[in-house]
């Protein structure tokens, strides 16, 4: 792939700040997250010389769409000039969504330790729940289908999958990777690099 892709994780939400598992729950940015989105857009403005030549794509969730709209405005672009792709939604945490690990431990003692034994392949309980390994199967066609320079706003789990799909890190390291909300991740010539 000869294209340049700039990946941005959505800005902080109150649930991020509380350590609450969001997954596919549709939450909103908080004020700190809105400022992060704007700062990422200001950085992208210095990196993207011809934005009209870029595809802009986001997960359809509210927190990613608001992040995209804020970063586009910071780039000097109209907020609405992007598309969404369902494949970019966050990993599904099933019955664990909307809870913190402290809350989960009260109803299912040891659940956190069981997850840590093989975090990459672990599937939480509940309908539709996914492992990170399953998430990579959903993300692979998106990544392989990128046909030109792109700005993509998505989620932490999706970016962990991208680290695995680009052979940047082994899966077990990808599962534990901290994904910042205040930096831009560039994919160029098959290599990922954090920019700030």
Encode the chain in three state secondary structure.
Answer: CCCCEEEEECCCEHHHHHCECCCCCCCCECHHHHHHHHHHHHHHHHHCCCHHHCEEEECCCHHHHHHHHHHHHHCCCCCCCCEECHHHCCCCCHHHCCCEHHHHHHHCCCHHHHHHHCCCCCCCCCCCCCCHHHHHHHHHHHHHCCCCCEEEEECHHHHHHHHHHCCCCCHHHHHHCCCCCCCEEEEECCEEEEEC
Q: Is the pLDDT of residue 134 over 70?
A: yes
Give mean pLDDT, residues 165-180: 96
15 assigned to a ligand binding site: yes
Alpha-carbon distances, residue 130 vs 98, 125, 142, 170 (angstroms): 15, 9, 17, 19
- pLDDT tens per residue, range 35-48: 999 999 999 999 99
Q: How far apart are CA 74 and CA 23, in angstroms?
A: 27
Q: Are 155 and 13 a contacting pair, CB within 8 Å? A: no
* Active site (catalytic) residues: 10, 90
Task: Return the bridge partners of 160, or none.
Answer: none
- pLDDT tens per residue, range 50-64: 999 999 999 999 999
96 assigned to a ligand binding site: no
Task: Return the bridge partners of 42, or none.
Answer: none
In the chain, pLDDT over 70 holds for what percent of residues?
Answer: 99
Q: How far apart are CA 188 and CA 74, in angstroms?
A: 23
120 assigned to a ligand binding site: no
Q: Is the pLDDT of residue 1 over 70?
A: no
9 assigned to a ligand binding site: yes
Is CATH 3.40.50.1240 the right assignment for the domain spanning 5-195? yes
- Give the model's confidence band at 196: pLDDT under 50 very low, under 70 low, under 90 confident, else very high: confident
User: Helices 62-74 & 31-47, crossing angle to 10 degrees?
Assistant: 50
Q: Specify the pLDDT at position 2.
A: 76
14 assigned to a ligand binding site: yes
Nearest to 124 by CA among 89, 103, 95: 95
94 assigned to a ligand binding site: no
Cα 122 to chain center, whole Å? 19
């Amino acid at each position: 792939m000869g294209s340049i892709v700039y990946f941005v994780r959505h800005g902080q939400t109150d649930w991020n700040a509380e350590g609450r598992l969001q997954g596919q729950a549709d939450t909103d940015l908080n004020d700190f997250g809105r400022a992060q989105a704007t700062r990422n857009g200001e950085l992208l403005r210095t990196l993207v010389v011809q934005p009209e030549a870029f595809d802009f794509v986001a997960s359809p969730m509210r927190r990613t769409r608001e992040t995209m709209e804020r970063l586009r405005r910071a780039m000097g672009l109209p907020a609405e000039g992007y598309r969404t792709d369902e494949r970019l939604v966050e990993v599904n945490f099933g019955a664990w969504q909307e809870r913190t690990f402290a809350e989960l431990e009260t109803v299912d003692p040891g659940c956190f330790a069981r997850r840590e034994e093989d975090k990459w392949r672990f599937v939480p309980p509940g309908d539709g729940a996914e492992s990170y390994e399953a998430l990579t199967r959903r993300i692979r066609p998106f990544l392989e289908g990128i046909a030109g320079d792109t700005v993509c706003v998505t989620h932490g789990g999706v970016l962990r999958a991208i680290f695995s799909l680009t052979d940047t890190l082994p899966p077990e390291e990808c599962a534990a990777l901290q994904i910042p909300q205040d930096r831009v991740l560039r994919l160029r010539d098959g290599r990922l690099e954090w920019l700030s």
